Structure 1
Amino acid sequence: MTTVIHPRTYATVTGPTATFITTDGQTEPVTATGDEDIRHAVIRRASDEARRTGTPVELVTSGDRGHHHLLVDPTGDLTLLPTTAEAEISDGEELDLGPYQDIDDTITTARGEEVREATSQPDALHAGSAPAAESPTRPTFLTPTTDTTPPVTGWRGILTGLGITVRPSAAEVRRAEERALVARQWAGCRTLAVVNGKGGVGKTMTTAILAAVYAREGGGTVLAWDNNDTRGTLGWRTEQGTYDTTLRDLLPAAPALLTPGAGVSDISRFVHHQSADRYDVLRSNPELLATDQRIGAGDFDLLMQVAARFYRLVIFDSGNDESADRWLRMIDSSYQLVIPTLANPESSESAALLLDALRGRDERSAALADRAVVLVTQSEPTGTTPARRIADGFAGHVRAVHIIPFDPALKAGPLRFDMLRPRTRDAWLSAAGSAAEGL
């Protein structure tokens, strides 16, 4: 029996982007166009590589949907390679690709044919075996455990404590639904960017409080990333961890953190855990000039791979330079945009101009702008009329608009969710719920 050895390529999918390694070892980013699935973009890139080399290429992928092993020919046709071949490569090394994930994934080839990616199946269902006879379905004696009953508070809670059944209020039902939204666990890392080209509009505040909501309700594994070339202050308003480390310290350690032997606690040396609010902060260094903090698209992608390995949700606190490589890669890597503004004309116009610019950039950026969530924060205790006027101006141009009431705990100093007034906490929960719907 003759074994045909094909050139091999690799792709690591991290959210809506991927990193592709060519047959000659070159690394390059892959980005989906418009509403295209990133996996289709990876297949298209592998087909280009097959045409360049003049022979079919093997494609080994890893990411949100597990590990897969395909043969891609120059026309874009796909062949699923048997799992027994995955442990053998041309130079005798062993490559551990792990079990195929039990998910229903279908890829359309360049000829319009549908190929389903391999899934974990019993031996009796492998090709060439007779299907097993269906056995009668019996009823289950177990009831699925879900926690969907909203807590009853106030006078209703007192009556409930006395054994008197009282239905929860509409507000309690709404809060329970919002908590379920923000506690959601996704199959793979999700990313949310907090953006507005004007400084001083509440980007850092929004990043920290949203991270707190998602981590407290969903159980941690949330990262707040200070993606800022120009004196990002997220580290000033959050707790410092055991180590005085920043993004610049994480970058050279990233390859080691991506090795199979890296443990889940190894990231702790480079991030700062928030003890009460349960999320982690990846700091920039506000003491350095912007020229000493700039990172390119390749470095950003490497850091994003590390973040996707250790966290289920990443929230970017962005800088004000919308032309910076790290800002543009952040947009290309995000599932959802949250745009904070104060209740004044200048910061609101900046937010509107950003939305206009994104709609003119490309199809994917336009879709992000259309699905954006705008947060109008009352920076002074002077009534709600200005904030409502601005919120009404954004209504219909984005997916959701929320007003965050004035709260002295947001003005300066440490950002702690427990320090907020109950009304403010409810407003942030609603805002986080709206953003979660886009993830």
Structure 2
Amino acid sequence: METQALDFPKINAVLRANGTGEVTINGTSHPIQAEDEAAVLSQALQLITETAAQLGRPVRVSTTDPDGQGLIVVTPEGIVSEAAPAKPSRRRQQDPEPAPAAPQAPTRIEPAAKETPAPAAPVTFNEAVNHTQEPSTPAKAATPESATRRSLKETSFLVSAPAMEPATRGWRGALTRLGFRMEPSPDELAEREDIRTVSQHWPGPRTVAVVNRKGGANKTPTVVMLSAILARYSGAATVAWDNNESQGTLGWRTEQGSHDNSVLDLIDSSQTLLSPSTNAAEIARFVHHQTSDKFDVLRSDENEEGDHEVTAEEVDIAHQVLTRYYRLIVMDSGNTARSANWRRMIHHTNQLVVPVTAIEDRAEAARLTLQTLESRGGHDAELARNAVVIVSESTDAKRSMSGDALKRAKDEARRIADGFTPHVRAVVRIPYDPALVNGPIRYDALQPATQRAWLAAAAAVAKGF
């Protein structure tokens, strides 16, 4: 079918996230607006099928959707298939070839594989099995049956690789829902892999520290988003802990429970919480549950009249309690890398995360934070080398809504990300999203592109577990 589908006429089909679409045939645009994605796709396929019917042959269609680009073939009967990834070059088609001594079977482009002798003609499954068991050339000497028989321990009838689920998004997903089973795009496969990574369970508790000695570097939003994604996908009991030495802001950006307890109350009740007879549900007296994002928050002391600063010993106590009740601890931090509670947090850390907004002083503070840890050697230096840096676009350019300002913001985020790349394990860029600027932060309030970027960031963090 595809060999009959020529590049003329040139057909492009666009499927947008807002429920609209467009089919362009040889430069003539046909806008489509319908009640849902399926209706948009149905109208687009009708236009393309009519074109194929007028020509009396299949047509090739370049597709574009929020998930990427692709290439399909549509017949005059409306049958859809995915186009081959490559075509023979024009020169190969025109250059004469010497006649072969004997006709050969057509070849297909296949993934690189280990070289094995190929049969002279296509074979069926049964023939292939017989071919492996009975050599085509006669043996010089009879082989005893015991020498060729294989052990049952070396044989299994189980299929090791699961069947790939068809596409669910964009043109491919829409076509799958119409009955044309399409393979997922590379972007969808990458998202599935990130989901698989953050959904894993790991042995023992893990502690993530989110650090940058400069305020306004996006530490608290980073703590919230990583906690939300890892809790949602892995189902692991997760707590976000505000380890500011005095008063932090994590409690301002998250839901408050039916009490006002903080880390100091948890420390005061640590003996009871660590008692073997204490029920696991008792921890709810000290943490604040996030109803939609499925993680808990341990707030810092919010008493404005108080002057208590958390000590290293108190960090040890709180960490011991939390590791009994949670598998994942994500720690917010203050801006003083010299403070006792900051240093003790690093001692308990398994994975370091350094957030930075795309502003040069925030980036410089992030660099100095990593440099400080690296200079200490040992565990601290190892954390710095394996850190995940998360670069968020600046909000200032977004408020101006200037096209030039937006471009400069993206360019600056890219420049800063590229600068960190040689020095850490992973760097992830996050687009601007107004849902992260003010008020309580919730994953569902983010734009799809922002959710996808934070999923990639969480996957980079989870790889360090």
With the length of structure 1 as denominator, give the TM-score of the two structures: 0.66
**Residue 162 of structure 1: CA displacement?**
2.3
Residues 150 and 438 (structure 1 numbering): CA distance in 2 closer, same or farther, change over 3 Å?
farther
Deviations 1:101-131 (A, max 9, x none): xxxxxxxxxxxxxxxxxxxxxxxxxxxxxxx
Question: Are 1:150 and 1:176, in contact at CA under 8 Å, matched by a contact in 2?
Answer: no
**Correspondence for 2:318 among 303, 306, 318:** 303
**Correspondence for 1:418 among 444, 448, 452:** 444
Tell me which residue corresponds to 1:208: 224
Tell me which residue corresponds to 1:179: 195
**Residue 409 of structure 1: CA displacement?**
0.6
Where structure 1 has 5 or more consecutive residues not aligned to the other structure, the ranges are 1-135
Question: Are 1:231 and 1:285, in contact at CA under 8 Å, matched by a contact in 2?
Answer: yes
**Correspondence for 1:227 among 228, 243, 262:** 243
Q: Secondary structure at the match of 2:176?
A: helix
Question: Are 2:354 and 2:366, in contact at CA under 8 Å, matched by a contact in 1?
Answer: yes
**Correspondence for 2:378 among 342, 363, 369:** 363
Q: Distance in 1 between matches of 2:296 and 2:178?
A: 41
Q: Secondary structure at the match of 1:199?
A: coil
Tell me which residue corresponds to 2:464: 438
**Residue 230 of structure 1: CA displacement?**
3.5
Q: Distance in 2 between matches of 1:426 and 1:406?
A: 13
Q: In the alignment, residue 427 of structure 1 is paired with which amino acid?
A: A
Residues 283 and 144 (structure 1 numbering): CA distance in 2 closer, same or farther, change over 3 Å?
farther
**Residue 329 of structure 1: CA displacement?**
0.8
Question: Are 1:270 and 1:282, in contact at CA under 8 Å, matched by a contact in 2?
Answer: yes
**Residue 228 of structure 1: CA displacement?**
0.4
Tell me which residue corresponds to 1:104: none
The 5 A counterparts of 1:12-411 are 149=165, 152-288=168-304, 291-292=307-308, 294-380=309-395, 381=398, 382-383=406-407, 384-411=410-437
Residues 337 and 146 (structure 1 numbering): CA distance in 2 closer, same or farther, change over 3 Å?
farther
Deviations 1:235-267 (A, max 9, x none): 111001122211111111111111211222111
Question: Are 2:218 and 2:356, in contact at CA under 8 Å, matched by a contact in 1?
Answer: yes
Residues 232 and 315 (structure 1 numbering): CA distance in 2 closer, same or farther, change over 3 Å?
same
Q: In the alignment, residue 322 of structure 1 is paired with which amino acid?
A: A
Larger radius of gyration: 2
Q: RMSD of the alignment, in Å?
A: 2.2
Residues 209 and 263 (structure 1 numbering): CA distance in 2 closer, same or farther, change over 3 Å?
same
Residues 139 and 315 (structure 1 numbering): CA distance in 2 closer, same or farther, change over 3 Å?
same
Percent identity between the two aligned chains: 45
Residues 147 and 303 (structure 1 numbering): CA distance in 2 closer, same or farther, change over 3 Å?
farther
Question: Are 2:167 and 2:176, in contact at CA under 8 Å, matched by a contact in 1?
Answer: no
Residues 179 and 259 (structure 1 numbering): CA distance in 2 closer, same or farther, change over 3 Å?
same
**Residue 379 of structure 1: CA displacement?**
2.4
Q: In the alignment, residue 310 of structure 1 is paired with which amino acid?
A: Y
Q: Distance in 2 between matches of 1:231 and 1:156?
A: 50
**Residue 291 of structure 1: CA displacement?**
2.8
Q: Secondary structure at the match of 1:230?
A: coil
Question: Are 1:212 and 1:417, in contact at CA under 8 Å, matched by a contact in 2?
Answer: yes
Q: Distance in 1 between matches of 2:163 and 2:259?
A: 38
Q: Which runs of 4+ in 1 moved over 4 A?
A: 136-151
Q: Secondary structure at the match of 1:328?
A: helix
Residues 153 and 227 (structure 1 numbering): CA distance in 2 closer, same or farther, change over 3 Å?
same
With the length of structure 2 as denominator, give the TM-score of the two structures: 0.62
**Residue 141 of structure 1: CA displacement?**
8.1
Where structure 2 has 5 or more consecutive residues not aligned to the other structure, the ranges are 1-151, 399-405
Residues 289 and 178 (structure 1 numbering): CA distance in 2 closer, same or farther, change over 3 Å?
farther
The structure where helix makes up a greater share of residues is 2
Tell me which residue corresponds to 2:108: none
Q: Distance in 2 between matches of 1:414 and 1:322?
A: 27
Question: Are 2:273 and 2:282, in contact at CA under 8 Å, matched by a contact in 1?
Answer: yes
Q: Secondary structure at the match of 1:396?
A: helix
Q: In the alignment, residue 260 of structure 2 is paired with which amino acid?
A: D
Q: Distance in 2 between matches of 1:230 and 1:269?
A: 21
Aligned residues: 304
Q: In the alignment, residue 337 of structure 2 is paired with which amino acid?
A: E
Deviations 1:73-115 (A, max 9, x none): xxxxxxxxxxxxxxxxxxxxxxxxxxxxxxxxxxxxxxxxxxx
Q: In the alignment, residue 443 of structure 2 is paired with which amino acid?
A: F
Tell me which residue corresponds to 1:43: none
Higher-RCO chain (CA-CA 8 Å, sequence separation at least 6): 1
Residues 212 and 148 (structure 1 numbering): CA distance in 2 closer, same or farther, change over 3 Å?
farther
**Residue 315 of structure 1: CA displacement?**
0.3
Q: Secondary structure at the match of 2:254?
A: coil
Question: Are 2:246 and 2:310, in contact at CA under 8 Å, matched by a contact in 1?
Answer: no
**Residue 289 of structure 1: CA displacement?**
5.8
Q: In the alignment, residue 299 of structure 2 is paired with which amino acid?
A: R
Deviations 1:322-358 (A, max 9, x none): 1221111110110111101111110100000111111
Deviations 1:205-244 (A, max 9, x none): 1000110010111114111000002320101110011222
Question: Are 2:240 and 2:296, in contact at CA under 8 Å, matched by a contact in 1?
Answer: yes
Q: Distance in 2 between matches of 1:410 and 1:198?
A: 18
